[in-house]
Structure 1
Amino acid sequence: MLTVETIKKVRLMALRDQKPIKVIARDLRLSKNTVRKILRNDLTEMTYERKNQPRPVMGAFVKSLEQRLTEDQRLPRKQRRTAKKLFEELRADGFAGSYDTVQRFVQAWRCEQQILATQAYVPLVFEPGEAFQFDWSHEQVELGGVPVTVKVAHIRLCYSRMSLIIAYPRETQEMVFDAHIQAFEFFGGVCRRGIYDNMKTAVKKILLGKDRDFNKRFEQLCSHYLYDPVACTPAAGWEKGQVERHVGVSRMNYFVPRLRLKDFAALNEHLRSQCIASAKANRHPTMPEKTVWEAFEEERPSLMQAPRPFDGYAASPAQVSSTSLVTYDRNRYSVPVSNVGRSVQVRAYADRVSMILDGRLLAEHARQFGRGKMAFDPWHYLPVLERKPGAIRNGAPFKNWELPEALLKARMSLERFSDWDRQFVGILCAIPTYGLCAVASACESALAMKTMTKDVVLNLLSRTPQEETELPVDLPGRLRLRNEPTADCGRYDALLGVVSHATQ
């Protein structure tokens, strides 16, 4: 095979020095046909590739070796046989060739399989306001000094690459709803399509092709915001490659080193500020003359206007227990005791839990996470206290009850009596009638007079004048009084002086 230097000499002698082919072949000891081939094809390099590799010794064992390699490909990498082990097995079958022959074949076969397994992708282009992509990731943070694995929702606009990430303790449906509500509010509008994987909180059943049986509540979300959901082909993450890549980038940029914050509110505030700062600092990947934030400002007018926030809850039925508690997600929440034994609807939001009966809100609590926790509203148990005042002493709903300071002082003052619980409950039962502020004011007055008892407080409340609201009456002009009557006792006394009484 001729080297590049030899070919260079041939070209210089022929094209620059104008020497004939016969002289060049004689001086460089080449055949005239070789010189002609270089000059006619304008070659600067000559290579040789063997099209068919003859394997006189290996030929009979190629099928057996390929079968072994195919079996190994299904196994974990550490359990696959090496070329040396395969050579020893072939020798046991009668192979008479060398180890180098087997090694070259194994290397070429594995290289070919790797090329076949490598997938090619088509770059995707989106118009402003056309689509957004959604995905979840799991990240490690420290909240309140405790290591926690949080579920992070990633929402990314396909045109501008603007992203928002929100951390949650769960990946449940109400968290999906809350992430969309916050994202659309943050972006200032909605895209015409949303691209998802086949998460169970959205897709109930995968049908043929791109058809999906979406969850009813998820379809309500899409209908409310007027966008079309599109689910990717299973195991085809490249169909939402922007958000897939953003998951890895955000993990390195935002969660390494491990974040240490107080709670989820502080964590999400930090993540939101980081998303904005990153968008303003980084260039757009396909429009390098703009930052991501500038592309986002350009895309904003193309977004559909977002309506009022979606009522993003996940509903489930529950039974009110004899202790007036409703169990949801392994935690319990109180409702008014008048609903004991009834079936209610629990509406779980990302941050709160509501109990509904016949379309009426019974109670609402901040959502608890974990298990075995209880959320009480002591006022739900006031009718029970009226019948069983002793429950105020050790009742779980009344531990750390946040009451006005005047009522707490009244309780401390009443504890000198043996029936303090009955007296204090009697004062509490007056709150639905007179209001919390009026009862607290009466307690302050009784404490100031140093006569704190239930009867004194109730007496003070009964003496409080009740303001009556008079509705204005629109009378015709002829029925209106020209002179408003005034109370004058002197006129009555004047009449007494002129009237003579009958005497017997």
Structure 2
Amino acid sequence: MIHVEDWAEIRRLHRAEQMPIRAIARHLGISKNTVKRALASDRPPKYERPLKGSAVDAVEVQIRELLKQTPTMPATVIAERIGWDRGITILKERVRELRPVYLPADPVSRTVYRPGELAQCDLWFPDVDIPLGYGQSGRPPVLVIVSGYSRVIAARMLPSRTTGDLIDGHWRLLTGWGAVPKMLVWDNEAGVGRGRPTSQFAAFAGLLATKIYLCRPRDPEAKGLVERANGYLETSYLPGRTFTGPDDFNTQLSAWLAVANRRLHRTLAARPAERWEADRAGMLTLPPIGPPAWWKFQTRIGRDHYIRVDTCDYSVHPRAIGKLVVVRSDTEEVTVLAGEEVVARHARCWARHQTITDPEHGAASARMRGDFRHQQAARARDRRLAATGTGPPQLVEVEQRELGSYDRMFTLIEGGGATTTGETGETGETGEGDR
């Protein structure tokens, strides 16, 4: 085998210098057949080691049978099924070569988004502990929404990933946009729905007049925009920041997003804020009412005058005991209504398993409990007196004089006149001796 330099020189001498094959062979000191092979090949010579058989060749038929039955079977399982006792690397390489024959590829195509067409949604869990109050800290989820056409990002931290909090988070972010995309793309989040939206989220979609699209399982490419936005938040917003609580987190995040949405987007070669007006013009208008006043639940207040929202208990005024009340909650406030009367209003607690008591409710409860105990003691005393035969003091009936007698006494009517001595015969105004 000749070197690449010799191959190039042979071709130059023959084509440029018009040197015959025999002269080239004499000039370079090689055989004529070597010169002929060099002139016949349009590719430079390359050393290739003769192929040798692989140990996997003996079991390739078994591998094909297993892949034919289960194309997604892992190579480690295949090794166990065929009794493979050699190195796993060469087996994995052969399985990687054979698998596409039985499992067709699923290519991902690039999508072009129209203004207002859709927005992708996801939950981001920041890798930082947020103080939640009551000595607790945690890592609450952050709802992230990215508009497809403009790539504008909106995000907000939520107390939990329950359906009610997700709906309230959507409403607040979309209210900030002032418009609603025609489609919201979600993966299989439990609070939104798996396979199909939950009844509450479907009702929310009906309120917005939008469509909820749930991606197939294990298909992250379907919402690649929001996945990249999550990574952008993780690497560009979070580092070096400290937070005093969820409100501080949301305040800093809103200020940062106002700057981030004006950056130059590499894929678009434009700034998201510059494409936003056209994007919003293609969206739907917001409905006239919001979900915080629409979603609620009813419960009857028991003697323990507390209601539970998420994992926390909130006090209710004890005058609502026994009544059917309506509980409305969002990410910021919990309100309890008995008819039209507000019997409780609390700030939403982000800590877990806490009991929140309004001082007014506690004082009213103590006062009503004292009145109840006094009444119970009075009833018990009456029962004891009745059992001993003494009983409570009896009321004495008093004779009531006719009202006309008072008129005659003060001479207000004829024949009247007050007697001071009456039947004793002593001197009086109308005594018997004057007649």
1:318 and 1:327 in contact (8 A); partners too:
no
Deviation, 1:120, is 4.2
Aligned to 2:391: none
Query: 1: distance between equivalents of 2:260 and 2:75?
Result: 45
* Runs of at least 5 residues in structure 1 that lack an aligned partner in the other structure: 91-101, 207-211, 392-504
Aligned to 1:224: 207
Q: Secondary structure at the match of 2:140?
A: strand
Aligned to 2:387: none
Aligned to 1:413: none
Instruction: Return the letter of the residue paired with 1:366.
Output: A
2:116 and 2:283 in contact (8 A); partners too:
yes
Aligned to 2:117: 130
1:137 and 1:152 in contact (8 A); partners too:
yes
Q: Secondary structure at the match of 1:306?
A: coil
Q: Secondary structure at the match of 2:328?
A: strand
Instruction: Return the letter of the residue paired with 1:158.
Output: G
Aligned to 1:352: 333
2:114 and 2:149 in contact (8 A); partners too:
yes
Q: Higher relative contact order by CA 8 Å / sep ≥ 6: 1 or 2?
A: 2
Instruction: Return the letter of the residue paired with 1:292.
Output: P
Q: Per the alignment, do residues 11 and 306 of structure 1 end up closer, same or farther by CA in structure 2, a change over 3 Å counting?
A: farther
Identity %: 19
Aligned to 2:430: none
Q: Per the alignment, do residues 61 and 188 of structure 1 end up closer, same or farther by CA in structure 2, a change over 3 Å counting?
A: closer
Instruction: Return the letter of the residue paired with 1:239.
Output: A
1:141 aligns with 2:132: no
1:129 and 1:300 in contact (8 A); partners too:
yes
Q: Per the alignment, do residues 324 and 10 of structure 1 end up closer, same or farther by CA in structure 2, a change over 3 Å counting?
A: same
Of residues 359, 363, 378 in structure 1, which corresponds to 2:360?
A: 378
The alignment's TM-score, normalised by the length of structure 1, stands at: 0.60
Deviation, 1:240, is 0.4
Instruction: Return the letter of the residue paired with 1:183.
Output: L
1:202 and 1:218 in contact (8 A); partners too:
yes
Of residues 252, 261, 273 in structure 2, which corresponds to 1:279?
A: 261
Deviation, 1:194, is 0.8
Aligned to 1:215: 198
1:337 and 1:381 in contact (8 A); partners too:
no
Q: Secondary structure at the match of 2:116?
A: coil
Deviation, 1:160, is 1.3
Query: 2: distance between equivalents of 1:3 and 1:359?
Result: 96
When Rg is computed on C-alpha atoms for both structures, the one with the higher figure is 2
Which range moves more in the overlay, 112-121 or 166-175?
112-121
Aligned to 2:155: 165
The alignment's TM-score, normalised by the length of structure 2, stands at: 0.69
Of residues 183, 197, 205 in structure 2, which corresponds to 1:193?
A: 183
Q: Per the alignment, do residues 243 and 72 of structure 1 end up closer, same or farther by CA in structure 2, a change over 3 Å counting?
A: same
Q: CA RMSD in A?
A: 3.9
Aligned to 1:109: 94
Instruction: Return the letter of the residue paired with 1:34.
Output: R
Deviation, 1:146, is 6.0
Query: 2: distance between equivalents of 1:291 and 1:197?
Result: 27
Query: 2: distance between equivalents of 1:388 and 1:235?
Result: 61
Please give the residue correspondences for 1:229-248 in structure 2 after superposition, counting only pairs within 5 Å.
229-248=212-231
Instruction: Return the letter of the residue paired with 1:141.
Output: D
Q: Per the alignment, do residues 113 and 285 of structure 1 end up closer, same or farther by CA in structure 2, a change over 3 Å counting?
A: farther
Q: Secondary structure at the match of 1:287?
A: coil
Q: Per the alignment, do residues 49 and 293 of structure 1 end up closer, same or farther by CA in structure 2, a change over 3 Å counting?
A: farther
Q: Secondary structure at the match of 1:333?
A: strand
Of residues 134, 144, 154 in structure 1, which corresponds to 2:144?
A: 154
Query: 1: distance between equivalents of 2:250 and 2:6?
Result: 69
Deviation, 1:158, is 1.1
Deviation, 1:136, is 0.5
Please give the residue correspondences for 1:288-327 in structure 2 after superposition, counting only pairs within 5 Å.
288=269, 290-308=270-288, 310-312=290-292, 315-327=296-308
Which range moves more in the overlay, 135-144 or 234-243?
135-144
Deviation, 1:111, is 6.0
Instruction: Return the letter of the residue paired with 1:304.
Output: L
